[in-house]
Structure 1
Amino acid sequence: MKSRWNNTLLALVVLPAASVWAQEPHAGHGTTAADVPQHQTSQADHGQMQGMDHGDMQMQGGSAPTDARDPHAYSGGFTLDEGPYTLPGPRQLRLADEHLFGGVLVDRLERVDAGEGHAWVYDTRAWVGRDYDRAVLKAEGDLIGGRLEEASTELLWSHAVSSFWNTELGVRYDTGHGPDQGWLALGMSGLAPYWFEVDATAYLGEQGQTALALEAEYELLLTQRLVLQPRAELSAYGKDDAERGQGKGLSELVAGARLRYELSRQFAPYVGWEWAATLGNTADMVRAEGESTQETRWVAGVRFWF
């Protein structure tokens, strides 16, 4: 029995040592990595990789190639008018950003009821051009008693500077209260974080008058067809112009909301409410004429585009 225990103990000590010795590169009969079975090599490599520093490895989601935005970077040298698949004659393949597109949006066409009377208000824009550059026409105004009371028209050149923002440069012409007035316009429009549509424009007018107009709106989808659209406008002027009813500083604030039902994506009737107030020096001018500086309005109209 004692001899059996001694043999067992010897096997437990000697066999692991012999196994390690046999796997040494220079042990036995000159064993090399090529002599090691494939499954053993894979396990050894796996052990080395576990101890490896992965900091220098190129992982997915790293920096984009320097030519990632080059439309011809991965074309193998072919272009739209050269290569084995080019058709004879003028180039026939056209991409979307090479075509002229256009559209018209009537954002507001509504009847406004302020308690003492009503007016018709329009706010529309049209554009024609490509993805990056286009001509834009903006027009808004109101009619009272079938006569154009006030109107503002802008002709702008819009250029895309990012995926969600455009710069706008052009001219504006106002008619209505006081003498007509022309402006140079420079602004930004686009989609701010959290899906707010923003339009900010600075103006330089006649005799050095300056102005700033800010607009923001948000579309809250109550259902796939029922949309609530809060909206706010703020305007300011650089100096007093009593002849045109423009006071230095913040001039007017309009805030409200419209609830529309989209019979189709292109046509939607709506109802709404808004509050308007004149501010600062402009409010003083309004009071001097015996008019109210605040007004609550109920609106009903349609929004459509084509």
Structure 2
Amino acid sequence: MRYAICLLPLTMLPVPAIAQAQETPAAGDEAGTMEHSQMQQGEMDQAEMNHSHMDHARMEQMDMTSSETNTDASIPQSPPPPAAFDGPLYAADEVVGAERMNSSRLNVMRQVSGMPVTWFQAERAEYRARKGGDGYLWDVQGYYGGDYDKLWLKSEGEGTFGEKVEDAEIQALWSHAIGPWFDLQTGVRQDLTGPTRTHATIGVQGLIPYEFEVDAAAFLSNKGDLTARIEAELDQRITQRLILQPRGEVELSAQDIPEAGIGAGLHKAELGLRLRYEFTREFAPYIGVEQEWKIGDSADYARAEGEDPSTTNYVAGIRFWF
């Protein structure tokens, strides 16, 4: 007996069978479908995040642009209107009156600037090692007064140990501010050694802005002798406490003064270099070297007295103030 097998096309199967075949995939197909679905979902999530970041960045940029635009728009681009300068310099003048307020402001200025202050400084108090006999030197000054007017006292002198003082003087000066940097000083100077002389004094003392401290004065003695002295020094900070100070001084005379060993013209010059260490601003020991020259007829007077017109001093001292 023979059997015949008939292969029917899929379309000829009953409809429920086709639906079942489509709705029930094989195990391998089910895994692939799930993986594909997850990948699609991840891509969609990533796209949404990128879109969100882009929107956030765009919003921030728009906010910044808007802020800058608003800020620029709020800044006037033209000069102030003329009406801005119509009012008084001081608003109180409108209420109290300009004359009364000017008097009050001047009174306050006098009280504040006239507040007296006492100050004293030993610029140089030093031991000097040199050929022919070690010596000493002092250079001190102080004042009492306010910002505009002060009473200054100054004293300088030097000598050799075991001998009498060679040079010594004291000055009493009235000082008045002639600007933010300099004071005009006038008064008297009294020599304490050598030929006794009293000098009328006029000079300036102050600071060349950010440069040298200067003290320059002219002296007219009771004998008619006219002399002058100029001192200058500059502080160069190596550190906050270590300071190198170059210093120079020249003395001039309008005539010969044989009894004082002074010749006409430039008769004396000093040039020194000092290195000090400020333990505090008010107390600073130092070491250094200074060269002195007597020039012209002054050198001849020194030689006649058996002195060397050129002297090198190795110095050690203390600078202090209070």
Q: Is 1:303 equivalent to 2:319 in the alignment? A: yes
- Compute the displacement of 1:75 (Å): 6.1
Query: Would you say how many aligned residue pairs link Structure 1 and Structure 2?
Result: 234
- Compute the displacement of 1:194 (Å): 3.9
Separation (CA, whole Å) in 2 of partners of 1:224 and 1:272:
19
- Matched letter for residue 168 of structure 1: Q
Residues 1:103 and 1:294: Cα distance change in structure 2 (over 3 Å): same
Which string of whole-angstrom CA distances, capped at 9 and with x for unpartnered residues, describes residues 162-207 of structure 1? 000110000101122x311110100011111442111111111122
Match of residue 154 from structure 2: 138
Amino-acid identity (%): 38
Structure number with the higher helix fraction is 2
Alignment of 1:260-299 (within 5 A): 260-299=276-315
- Compute the displacement of 1:289 (Å): 2.0
Structure number with the higher strand fraction is 1
- C-alpha contact (below 8 Å) 2:197/2:223 kept by paired residues: no
TM-score by length of 2: 0.67
Separation (CA, whole Å) in 2 of partners of 1:110 and 1:136:
22
**Alignment partner for residue 175 of structure 1, among 179, 187, 192?**
192
Separation (CA, whole Å) in 2 of partners of 1:128 and 1:151:
22
SS at match of 2:297: helix
Which string of whole-angstrom CA distances, capped at 9 and with x for unpartnered residues, describes residues 101-125 of structure 1? 1100011110011122111211000
Separation (CA, whole Å) in 2 of partners of 1:93 and 1:130:
11
Q: Is 1:158 equivalent to 2:192 in the alignment? A: no
Separation (CA, whole Å) in 1 of partners of 2:182 and 2:260:
32
Superposition RMSD in Å? 2.9
Q: Is 1:232 equivalent to 2:248 in the alignment? A: yes
Separation (CA, whole Å) in 2 of partners of 1:293 and 1:122:
21
- Matched letter for residue 192 of structure 2: T
SS at match of 2:262: coil
Separation (CA, whole Å) in 1 of partners of 2:256 and 2:110:
52
- Matched letter for residue 205 of structure 2: S
Q: Show structure 2 runs of 5+ residues with no match.
A: 1-72
- Compute the displacement of 1:148 (Å): 3.1
Q: Show structure 1 runs of 5+ residues with no match.
A: 1-45, 60-64, 66-71
| The structure with more radius of gyration | 2
- Compute the displacement of 1:156 (Å): 0.5
TM-score by length of 1: 0.70
Which string of whole-angstrom CA distances, capped at 9 and with x for unpartnered residues, describes residues 12-52 of structure 1? xxxxxxxxxxxxxxxxxxxxxxxxxxxxxxxxxx9xx99xx
- Compute the displacement of 1:286 (Å): 1.2
**Alignment partner for residue 106 of structure 1, among 119, 122, 129?**
122
SS at match of 1:233: strand
Separation (CA, whole Å) in 2 of partners of 1:229 and 1:75:
49
